[in-house]
Structure 1
Amino acid sequence: MSLHERNLALLDDHAIPYREVSHEAVLDYPTAHAVRQRFGLRGVESKSLFLRLKGGGYAMLVTLEDARADWAQLKALLGARPSIASDEELVDLTGCVPQCACPLGHAEDIALVFDEAIFRHDYLIYSPGPPERTLEVATADLARLLPRLPNRVLNYRSE
């Protein structure tokens, strides 16, 4: 099952409503903003960073497009020093396209680190895998979904 199929199945299995749109590949924020305007998407753009942990393991940091990573906080949360994983690791371990990491649908041994700032907005916009697809999901529904995932889910507070 592809990452895209896993995301849709995850949302469907938990009765999470979503809106999906198809468009040109989105690999940068200017294109993402143009797509958001064209389709009238209401959410904030996500930024997902795939992290390698010193000593082994991986995590996906899910934050907002303009947020900066707080590496000290991430180390404290994850219990190991994180660094940005290589494009090869991203592709091999998640099925994501570089510059288009997806927040959900990953193997259960990949920790999910969600920025609390996301939940101050009504909707989150993210790519479910292919850069030509965007999902809009209510953050209230996302908050309901996260505890049901097999992944370890950690709360993060951006600057």
Structure 2
Amino acid sequence: MRGEAGLRDDLRALSIRFAEHDHAAVFTVAESDAVHAAMPGAHTKNLFLKDKGGAFWLVTVPSDARVDLKRLPAAIGSKHVSFGKAADMERLLGITPGSVTPLAAINAVPGSITVVIDAALADAYLVNVHPLRNTATLGLAGGAILDLLRRWGHDPLIATIPVQEPQ
């Protein structure tokens, strides 16, 4: 697994500009809201999922999105999905819950997981994601995230992720 050192090497190799923010560990979107309040750009939420066929999915959406898990499979071309297990996350991505990020795909064998990026984030000027740990945030362009994923052998799926209506 290439880890954060490999991520930084690839950021340099691709001349990707980013802002880095170190902070206290955050484990939930609610915890991260206070930390991220002063950071410009789109903030993210990441779902590590497994479908009925045994395929794994890493779905990145805006942090305020309430993903409609019943409609999600149709949007991404999957079967019924449920949350993946921490052991599978660690085995496939080399990270633990609370540190989920599309950048963890650096550790994944191509084809072992499908990375899905919400269309709004893919086009965003600045997207905030963890650098494989939940004690820092990197702000970089959505297009740069896609470039990194492709460099690592993953063809990201860009989709409009269905959300639940506000109650």
The TM-score with structure 2 as length reference comes to 0.79
Alignment of 1:4-153 (within 5 A): 4-37=4-37, 40-76=38-74, 77-106=76-105, 107=108, 108=110, 109-119=112-122, 121-153=124-156
Query: One-letter code of the match for 1:49?
Result: L
User: For 1:30 and 1:2, how far apart are their aligned partners in 2?
Assistant: 29
Contact kept? 1:2, 1:95, Cα under 8 Å: no
Contact kept? 2:123, 2:143, Cα under 8 Å: no
Larger mean Cα displacement after TM superposition, 22-31 or 104-113: 22-31
Structure number with the higher strand fraction is: 1
- In structure 2, the CA distance between the partners of 1:70 and 1:10, relative to structure 1 (3 Å rule), is farther
SS in 1 for 2:46: strand
SS in 1 for 2:102: coil
Larger mean Cα displacement after TM superposition, 47-56 or 145-154: 145-154
- Runs of 5+ unmatched residues, structure 2: none
Q: CA deviation at 1:111?
A: 0.8
Query: One-letter code of the match for 1:96?
Result: I
User: For 2:151 and 2:104, how far apart are their aligned partners in 1?
Assistant: 12
Q: CA deviation at 1:100?
A: 2.5
Larger mean Cα displacement after TM superposition, 125-134 or 93-102: 93-102
Contact kept? 2:95, 2:104, Cα under 8 Å: no
The TM-score with structure 1 as length reference comes to 0.82
Larger mean Cα displacement after TM superposition, 60-69 or 78-87: 78-87
Contact kept? 2:29, 2:45, Cα under 8 Å: no
Contact kept? 2:103, 2:145, Cα under 8 Å: no
How large is the Cα RMSD of the aligned pairs? 2.3
- Runs of 5+ unmatched residues, structure 1: none
- In structure 2, the CA distance between the partners of 1:151 and 1:88, relative to structure 1 (3 Å rule), is same
Length, aligned pairs only:
157
User: For 1:110 and 1:65, how far apart are their aligned partners in 2?
Assistant: 21
SS in 2 for 1:70: coil
